[in-house]
Amino acid sequence: MFLKHILSTGLLFCLANGAPVSSTTPSPPTASELNDPNFGPIPGLSSYYSDYRGKEAPFPAKNATPIQNTTSGPAGVDDLLFQNLLAAEWVVYSFYQQGVEAFNKSSFVDLGYPNTTWDSIAEIRDNEAGHLRLFQDSISSNNIKPGPCSYDFRFKTDAEAFLGLQNIIEISSMSFLTGLVLQAQLDSSKGALTAIGLTETRHEVWSLIEIWNVSPFAGPADTSFPYANQILDVTNEFVIPGSCPAENPPFPSPSQNLPRLTITDNTTSFNPGDEVELEFEFNPEYQVNTEYYTVYFHGLFNISVPFDTQTNLTTIPSEFEAKGVIIAVIADEIGAPSKESVVAGPLFIFQQPTSLNSL
Ligand SMILES: *[C@@H]1O[C@H](CO)[C@@H](O)[C@H](O)[C@H]1NC(C)=O
Ligand SMILES: *[C@@H]1O[C@H](CO)[C@@H](O)[C@H](O)[C@H]1NC(C)=O
Ligand SMILES: *[C@@H]1O[C@H](CO)[C@@H](O)[C@H](O)[C@H]1NC(C)=O
Ligand SMILES: *[C@@H]1O[C@H](CO)[C@@H](O)[C@H](O)[C@H]1NC(C)=O
Ligand SMILES: *[C@@H]1O[C@H](CO)[C@@H](O)[C@H](O)[C@H]1NC(C)=O
Ligand SMILES: *[C@@H]1O[C@H](CO)[C@@H](O)[C@H](O)[C@H]1NC(C)=O
């Protein structure tokens, strides 16, 4: 669908310029070409994933369909992980691509942001396109490589809203990449996930310094949350229902389909020690005679607080340092020791910039 859109845009451009619609229009690459890691610019070798400044989708996003398997045989041991990650990366990449398309240099300069803002957004978009390619290359040709859905990030023409959401996207990326390391079988996958998580951190640090003018530091450790697929599931919030290619595998897989957790609008402060009121996307499957807890993760630590399922009020542990991100879930066991113990969430609570609050 997306590909069709790009092609028809290209066609309109030709017609408007009076150029003949010739047979030289390059045909889209084949699945065999796209399954070859040497096809197209190679991340880490080519500067394309840093320097491209077009508004049109870069490679490999301009070939926006699932890539069919060209061989059959057993799945690679980390194929499922990278299929999940590629589907999540389509969300992240598309966020930046929509920003590159919706805004220009003056959109940000007019709001008082540095004159390099659009350029940096475009460079991050390029990095994310490189991630798409890296994740495609990490899935064996025995397996399908998911294509993009349609996404609604709700920032429309509001550049400020875009910049706010950018923090949420980057911090959740940092968190799910950290969690996915626990699922990886191959050492090479663990290294790749760590390296890409670090790149997302650089994107986040850029924004904290350049855009928000706050300290980029988050204490000695960012937050390690073990159930990466629960975070991936939250990114489905941006997917327009029914818009995913039919060939795409389910995302994420496996999924617990937990209700998303948010903080109600009438909560105004989100610091350690503050009481907040939680809201659920749909009612969690509470069991009778069971104690529930809000389990808060920060750094490498977690703290459980009994959760009152009647009032939905909970207090962010005052023990935590007010820096970085706190991730919270509702669980039926202290410490949420298994993913099955989680009944709702995760919820992200940001400590900086303070003008942002939660996802
Ligand atoms: C793709 O994978 C399916 C399922 O494993 C298999 O039946 C099919 O033959 C594969 N396609 C090719 C071109 O090998
Ligand atoms: C930037 O975008 C705005 C809003 O769409 C538009 O009015 C303006 O002409 C654009 N500026 C440039 C330099 O393209
Ligand atoms: C961007 O802003 C810096 C200072 O903030 C200034 O030195 C530079 O000339 C500006 N560049 C452009 C292209 O406007
Ligand atoms: C907070 O807002 C929710 C609706 O979002 C409302 O149901 C609730 O009663 C409010 N709580 C307080 C303490 O005002
Ligand atoms: C607390 O959340 C539950 C689950 O969504 C909901 O049924 C209940 O009405 C909420 N309680 C209050 C006081 O808002
Ligand atoms: C939370 O902390 C407790 C105590 O250190 C630990 O046993 C538990 O495994 C932690 N939970 C997770 C999900 O890591």
Asked whether 274 and 313 are in contact (CB, 8 A), the reply is no
Asked whether 94 and 66 are in contact (CB, 8 A), the reply is no
Q: Does 277 sit in the ligand 5 pocket, CB within 6 Å?
A: no
Render pLDDT for 76-97 as a digit per residue (tens, 0 to 9): 999 999 999 999 999 999 999 9
Render pLDDT for 272-291 as a digit per residue (tens, 0 to 9): 999 999 999 999 999 999 99
C-alpha of 307 from chain center? 28
**How far from 279 is each of 19, 108, 128, 299, 326, CA to CA, in Å?**
56, 33, 32, 24, 17
Render pLDDT for 175-220 as a digit per residue (tens, 0 to 9): 999 999 999 999 999 999 999 999 999 999 999 999 999 999 999 9
Q: Is 40 left (phi over 0), alpha (psi -120 to 50) or beta?
A: left
Structure confidence at residue 267 as a pLDDT band (50, 70, 90): confident
Residue 358 pLDDT more than 70? Answer: no
70 CA closest ligand 1 atom index: 13
| DSSP code at position 239 | B
Whether the model clears a pTM of 0.85, i.e. scores above it, the answer is yes
Distance (Å, whole) CA 154 – CA 135: 26
- Summarize the confidence of residues 244-257 as an average pLDDT: 98
Residue 299: predicted pLDDT: 97
CA 356 to ligand 4 centroid distance, Å: 20
Question: Which residues form ligand 4's pocket by a CB distance below 6 Å?
Answer: 264-266, 277
CA 143 to ligand 1 centroid distance, Å: 8
Residue 22 pLDDT more than 70? Answer: no
Residue 60 pLDDT more than 80? Answer: yes
**How far from 78 is each of 150, 181, 187, CA to CA, in Å?**
26, 11, 10
Structure confidence at residue 354 as a pLDDT band (50, 70, 90): low
Residue 265: predicted pLDDT: 83
- Angle, vertex CA 185, rays to CA 179 and CA 188, nearest 5: 90
> Ligand 6: which of 225, 300, 302 to mutate, judged by most atoms within 8 Å of the beta carbon?
302
- Summarize the confidence of residues 67-73 as an average pLDDT: 98
Of all residues in the chain, the percent with pLDDT exceeding 90 is 88
Q: Does 69 sit in the ligand 1 pocket, CB within 6 Å?
A: yes
